[in-house]
Amino acid sequence: MASLFDNYRLGELTVPNRVVMAPMTRVRASAGGLATSSMATYYAQRATAGLIVTEGVQPSLVGQSNPGTPGLHTDEQVTAWRPVTDAVHTNGGRIFAQLMHGGRVSHPDTTGMRPVGPSAVPAVGEVFTPTGPQPAPTPRALDTAEVAEHALSYARAARRAVDAGFDGVELHGANGYLISQFLSSNANLRTDRYGGSVTGRIRFAVEAVSVTVEAVGAARTGIRLSPGGTFWGVEERDIPELYTALLTELARLEPAYVHLEATTDESVLTGLRRVWPGTLIMNPVSPMGPKQTGRTEADHWLGLGADLISFGRAFIANPDLVERLRTGLPLAPVDEATYYRGGDAGYLTYPAYQYTA
């Protein structure tokens, strides 16, 4: 079995270990969706990860889900990201931008625009806005002719990401956001070629990956998926069939990796591992679940055939997570109250392990 600390060939990169920093929203961007110097420090502190995947980055204004998140759809945003990627590379790291189109999980108070989605079905729950949580609005259903433009938004943002110095991009196809909404059987009620059958429901995801691969190359393109996840009220019928079909189509495009979340039964996930011929990044625990990934879960999934393991919450409080895992040092607890508070407290203030004589 591979060790978590073995190197690995990922696309055109050789990563020094199989520890991936998972994408986690931290809402520290400045006005205009600009990355900041604090963000450069935050990611540089964690550059010993084999790969960093950033927080979700909106590929368009209408694709912005939460206030305070960064974008990659203006020249100013590209310029603001360059010190971040430079800082990570100076510290020896590798970094992909996660491209996240929120779809229906947004609000006009955040973007000044009505959210869009595959169908006029609102998300379940309250969405974040500049004035606090509000009920999720009913999105405008995209016309068939408009859908391709939103797939292209990922490709355009990917080009900007490469211009900003990123090593690649990960399309956020999980957790109830736009790609996940198209995969869903209750958020997607379309009767055109983007809905209905499994073939229809996977079409948007495949097209988004395809145009991104055309834009920046397969070696710079990954996608994250949450089979069976119910975030923001999405449901999926026929999970094994749906994701087997999706992975089969994605395999033709040869992206750098697929990043799966443990949002369904292990037997289903191991079946998808057998279907997927390329690199698999596995997040062993469901996001926001009661547990966080540790060495035990990582080794378990390496034994089941995953190539790399992503860690979310553990990386927030442990910038030196790779070393702590390597040497068996205790992991520092995370202060959940500072997840989305803004500022540097609970962001840049977690130290590396302090050895004592």
Q: Which of 42, 43, 154, 177 is catalytic?
A: 177
What span, in angstroms and rounded, lies between the C-alpha atoms of 163 and 320?
28
- Asked if residue 190 is part of any domain, the answer here is yes
- Is residue 178 pLDDT above 70, yes or no? yes
302-356 residue pLDDT tens: 999 999 999 999 999 999 999 999 999 999 999 999 999 899 999 999 999 987 6
The CATH number that applies at residue 265 is 3.20.20.70
Count how many domains the chain has: 1
- Asked if residue 353 is part of any domain, the answer here is no
Q: Is 176 left (phi over 0), alpha (psi -120 to 50) or beta?
A: left
**Which residue segment(s) compose the domain that 165 sits in?**
8-338
pLDDT of residue 298: 95
- Asked if residue 176 is part of any domain, the answer here is yes
**Residue 288: which pLDDT band, with cuts at 50, 70 and 90?**
low
- Mean pLDDT over residues 176-199, rounded? 98
- Asked if residue 345 is part of any domain, the answer here is no
- Asked if residue 88 is part of any domain, the answer here is yes
Range of weakest confidence among 181-195, 275-289, 325-339: 275-289
Q: Environment class of residue 296 by beta-carbon count within 10 Å: exposed (0-12), middle (13-18) or buried (19+)?
A: exposed
- Asked if residue 355 is part of any domain, the answer here is no
Q: Is 177 a catalytic residue?
A: yes
pLDDT of residue 293: 81
Q: What is the largest CA-CA distance in the chain?
A: 68
- Asked if residue 344 is part of any domain, the answer here is no
- Asked if residue 354 is part of any domain, the answer here is no
